[in-house]
Structure 1
Amino acid sequence: MNKLKRHLIVAAVLMAGFAAAIGSYLLLAPDDRGGGGLDVQPAAEALPVRASSHRLTEPEKSELTVVEFLDFECEACGAMYPVVERLREEYGDRVTFVARYFPMPGHRNGELAARTAEAAARQGRFEEMYTKLFNTQQEWGESQDWKQSVFRNYARQLGLDIAQFDADLADPEVAGRVQDDQRDGLALDVQGTPTFLVDGTRIQTPGSYREFKALIDDRLSD
C-alpha cells in the first residue's frame, strides 16, 4: 500500500469517527438557531422495550427480544432491513423483534419519517409504513428537500385516512412519542444507527445475515 493511499484511509477513519461524535453531540445539544431544535435528554429510567414500543413479531412464547434503534433515512439501517426481515420471518414464532425510533440530526427527513410511521401507527398501520419507508428509501433519503408530500402520498397508497394522518403528523404527542424512544436510546448508550439490543444488552451490529443468525441461534440454545 503506497503512502498516499494509507494516509487517505487513515483520514477517512478519522472523519467517520468525527462525524459520529458530532452526530451524538447534536442529538444531545441541537442547534436552536432556526427555532426548531429539540433538546432531547436521556431518560432518567431507560427501558429497552416499553408497552408502547412497536413489536414486529409477537410470539405466543417469546424466547428472546431483539430491539433495533433505527433511523428510516439511515443507509445502514436500510441495508440491515432485509436482514431483519429474513430473521423475523425465520424466528418470528420464537423471537420478539421491536423497532424503536432514533432519527439522527444529520438526516433532513429522518425525524419526519419517524413521525410518519407513528402517525400510521395511530391507524393501526405501523408495520405497513415501516415497510414502505424502507422499501422506498432510495427515492427520498439523503435529500435536502422536505419530503412531507411524498410521505403523505405513501399514507394515501396505504389507504390511510388522510385528514387524520395530517392531524396526527402535526400532533405534538406524535413528536413526543418519537422523542421518548430517543431518550431511552440515549440512556442506553445508543450513539448511532442501527443499534441492536438483544435481551436488553447492546451488541455490535452483525455484518451479515449469517452472523446475526448465529448470534440468535447461540442465545436460543442457552
Structure 2
Amino acid sequence: MTRNTRLTLAMILLVILVMIVGIAVNRNIGRPAASGAPVDEAVLVREDSHRLSTAPDGKVTLVEFLDFECEACRAVHPSITEILDTHQGRITFVVRYFPISSHPNAELAARAAQAAAEQGRFPQMYAALFDNQEQWGHQNTPQTDRFVGYARDLGLDVDRFRQDLDAPATARRVAADRADGETVGVRGTPTFFLNGRELTGVRTQSDMIAAIDAALAG
C-alpha cells in the first residue's frame, strides 16, 4: 500500500468518525434531562429538611444538595429563584446542606443558615449567603463576623444566633444532611433530585424547567 493510499484511507476514516459524532450530538439536541436510578426518598427528604416552597398536591419535589461557598451553586441560585416564582404552589423545593471540605467557610456558612433557621429565617439567610458570596467566599479565615452581620441585618437575636452557630447540635444537623447526600450518591454540588431521581444533563435553566414541566405533566 502506497503512502498516498494510506493517507487517503485515513482521511476517509476521519470523515466517517466526524459524521458519526455529528449524528450523535444532533440526536441529543432537544432531549429532556436524563434521570438516574431512584433513591430512597425517606433519606432524600427528612421531616426537618428545609423547604423553600411546598406544593399542596405533593406531585413534584425538587431537592438540591448545595454548598453555600460553591460558585456553581451561586450561579444557579437566580434560576432556582425564578423557577420557584413561576411554578409557585406547583413544586416542593427542598434544600439540603452538602459543604465541601476544600471550601474553608462552607461548613460555617451551613451552620449560619441552620442558626438562622432556629429563628425561622432560613430562606432569608439562604439568600443572603448567596447574594454576598463574593465577599466571604474562599477566604482563609473564618467569616463568623460577616455571618453575624447578616444575622443582625435580618433582625435576628444576635446572641442566640452566636450560640446556635457554635452549638454541637447545629454541627450535627449539617453533618446529617451531608451524610444523607453521600448515601444517595452525591459527589459534588449542586446536585438535584427530581421526584427521587438525580437529574443529569441539566445545563441551562431551560433544561431544568423542561424536566420540571415533564414531571408536572406526567
TM-score by length of 2: 0.80
Deviation at 1:99, TM superposition (A): 0.5
- Residue of structure 2 in register with 1:53 after alignment: 49
Any idea what SS the aligned residue of 2:53 has? Answer: coil
**Secondary structure of 2:44 counterpart:** coil
Q: How does 1:72-151 map to 2 (within 5 A)?
A: 72-151=68-147
Shift of 1:61: 2.0
The offset of 1:116, in angstroms, is 0.1
CA distance in 1, matches of 2:128, 2:50: 16
Task: Select 1:187's aligned residue among 145, 159, 183.
Answer: 183
Matched, 1:160 2:153: no
Partner of residue 203 from structure 2, selected from 187, 203, 207: 207
In structure 2, relative to structure 1, the CA distance for the partners of 1:46 and 1:205 (3 Å cut) is farther
Show the counterpart of 1:31. Answer: none
Letter of the 2:217 counterpart: S
The amino acid that maps onto 1:155 is A
Q: How many residue pairs were aligned?
A: 179
Which range moves more in the overlay, 141-150 or 155-164? 141-150
- Give 2:197's aligned amino acid: T
Structure 2 residues without counterparts, runs of 5 or longer = 1-39
| Aligned residue type for 1:217 | D
Instruction: Tell me if 1:176 matches 2:166.
Output: no
Q: How does 1:27-66 map to 2 (within 5 A)?
A: 47-66=43-62
Q: Give the letter aligned to residue 83 of structure 1.
A: S
User: Cα distance, 1:92 vs. partner?
Assistant: 2.4
Partner SS for 2:188? coil
Tell me the alpha carbon deviations over residues 117-142 of structure 1, each in whole angstroms, 9 at most, x when there is no partner: 00000000000000000100111112
For residue 152 of structure 2, give the secondary structure of its aligned residue in structure 1.
helix
Shift of 1:191: 0.2
Taking structure 1 as the reference length, the TM-score comes to 0.78
Contact 2:41-2:196 at 8 Å conserved across structures: no
Equivalent AA in structure 1 for residue 111 of structure 2: R
Tell whether the 8 Å contact from 1:73 to 1:110 is kept in structure 2 after alignment.
Answer: yes
Cα distance per residue 1:31-65 (max 9 Å; x no partner): xxxxxxxxxxxxx9961101000000012223200
Give the letter for the 2:195 counterpart: D
Kindly provide the amino acid, as one letter, of the partner of residue 186 in structure 1. E
